[in-house]
Structure 1
Amino acid sequence: MHIRPVPFDHPDAVKLNDEVQAEYDLRYGDGGDMTPLDPAMFAPPGGLYLIAYDERDRPVATGGWRTQDANDEGYENGDAELKRMFVVAEARGRGLARRILARLEDDARAAGRTRMVLETGTKQPEAIALYTSSGYAPCAKFGLYRDYEDSRCYAKPL
């Protein structure tokens, strides 16, 4: 597997984003994540977007972080927010999400961010297991879904 940075609007990123949105819709029945995202949010040094490619150069996993600071959605100064962590079904169980997560944490730390935060939901137990086993702890809710009952927010000091 090869993990490389790509712009959020790269064709492979768009393809995987469509797949993760379909997965969210399947699990939650809400059409997918409504969080507005712009490719510039993931441009270094204020963010990073990664795609893992398999041995046949097919995009199979993705994830990114973007800068957040204190605002009315509950973020804190120094936050880096994880977005669009996803592994296609046929590539799950190989540790790709954990590898991408580690790269994103390292990059956010190098960019001067002090805390990695993320929002997920109760219908994504494998995501919750990944994050809690990687040192993330529940935190005060933030972001677009902070008022939703099935939303869960986690944070980890960098």
Structure 2
Amino acid sequence: MCAGTVEFVMVRQDDPLAEPLLAELGLEYRARYGDLSGTEYADMRSYPAEQFAPPGGVLVVGLSGGIPVAGGAFRRLDASTAELKRIWTSSEHRGRGYGKLVVAELERIARERGYRRVYLTTGPRQPEAVALYLSTGYTALYDRALPAEQVGVHAFEKQLGAAG
């Protein structure tokens, strides 16, 4: 199925538009990883909100018909690298290509802000995320021949071209 029309809006971490996506993401992580205490997945708001605020970062929500269907964020990792975080598509809207649209929008904004590289990590129990990043041109920074649980955190990177 093809992605429908999505309008991206930049929001703060505490914006009501981001709430349903972050809440569902937290539930998904708990279902996949069990007890998350002490991990970065324990609280979807564990990073200070200012890390995802301009000019160094951003949090976007994709709206379709005014309904939040997908979202994601990045924060400044270093002067030339943005780190993608919290890429998510609502369970009701999966399989429509929204994840690719979120990644493309975050890359576009990162490029505009002068970043030349994007870095991200995902967990070993998120094969859909691994497939998304590989399909959108990311390079795995781990041995893909190893079992996912043995790898642990799956790191990726992508070089961005110049803006415009």
Q: 1:22-61 to 2 correspondence within 5 Å?
A: 22-31=27-36, 33-34=41-42, 36-55=46-65, 57-61=66-70
Matched residue SS, 2:21: helix
Alpha-carbon distance in structure 2 between the residues aligned to 1:53 and 1:107: 17
Identity over aligned pairs, percent: 39
Matched-pair contact (CA < 8 Å) for 2:138–2:157: yes
**Cα shift at 1:34:** 4.3
Matched residue SS, 1:84: strand
Structure 1 equivalent of residue 88 of structure 2: 86
Matched residue SS, 2:41: coil
Alpha-carbon distance in structure 2 between the residues aligned to 1:43 and 1:121: 24
| Superposed CA offset, 1:39-86 (max 9, x none) | 11111121111111222x2212110111012xxxxxxx5210001101
Q: 1:74-153 to 2 correspondence within 5 Å?
A: 77-139=79-141, 149-153=151-155
| Runs of 4+ displaced beyond 6 Å | none
Matched residue SS, 1:12: coil
**Cα shift at 1:128:** 0.4
Alpha-carbon distance in structure 2 between the residues aligned to 1:58 and 1:110: 26
Alpha-carbon distance in structure 2 between the residues aligned to 1:94 and 1:15: 19
Q: Which moved more, 1:1-10 or 1:60-69?
A: 1-10
Number of aligned positions between the proteins? 143
Structure 1 equivalent of residue 75 of structure 2: 66
Q: Which moved more, 1:27-36 or 1:79-88?
A: 27-36
Q: Which runs of 5+ in 2 are unaligned?
A: 1-5, 143-149
Alpha-carbon distance in structure 2 between the residues aligned to 1:39 and 1:122: 26
RMSD, aligned α-carbons: 1.8
Q: Which runs of 5+ in 1 are unaligned?
A: 70-76, 141-147
